[in-house]
Amino acid sequence: MKNYIIIISILLIFTVFLIIQRTYSIESNESAMTTSIQQQLEDDIEISSIEEYDISKSNSKIVLFEYGNKKGYAVFKVNYVNKKLKIIFVKSNILDKNINIIHTNRGNYILLSGNYNEKINYIVVNEGNTKHLFEVALINENFRNLYITLETIPRSLTDTMLNDVLVYNKDNKLVY
């Protein structure tokens, strides 16, 4: 009986290892990430530049890219075992208003993009009768429309709660 348990345990560990190897298959280099983004966009696009932004020492990173006259971003997760990546999602145009929750091993973060006329300093998310205020940081000066929360957000906040986010500038003036 003990031999069966040992054999089943070994097979289970081996299966998990194989699944991880297949799921995290993108090399952590610019060429592989660019190819992965191009495949996700299902377009014959030429990506001209790419920059990486690690999310608070977590297992996730944002990759900023340019193609044509557009700018976009992709979110990747990093596997610490084989140092390879898997793509979570791609946003092809940061000028379109978009809010995503990024789930990392260090907590959840809000990623906010859109065509705003001024710099954003914080956002307010409603959770029932509770209001959550989060400072945001501009990710990169060249990508002026992409912000991320500086601190983790409560796990209770969902994507649907982000539909009514209030966006403010440094003067507490409502931006959006």
Q: Identify the band that residue 20 occupies on the pLDDT scale cut at 50, 70 and 90.
A: low
Cβ atoms of 87 and 76 closer than 8 Å: yes
Mean per-residue pLDDT, 98-103: 89
pLDDT at 22: 66
C-alpha 40: how far from its chain's center? 15
pLDDT at 8: 83
What residue segments make up the domains of the chain, in order of their start? 2-168
Contacts of 57 (CB under 8 A, 6+ apart): 106
Mean per-residue pLDDT, 64-80: 88
- Candidate from 16-25, 73-82, 100-109, 114-123 with smallest mean pLDDT: 16-25
Beta-carbon-side half-sphere exposure of residue 144 (alpha carbons within 13 Å)? 5
pLDDT at 128: 84
Matching residue, tokens 């796990």: 155
Q: Identify the band that residue 133 occupies on the pLDDT scale cut at 50, 70 and 90.
A: very high
pLDDT at 41: 83
Within 10 A of 118 (CB to CB), how many other CB atoms are there? 11
Average pLDDT over the chain reads 85
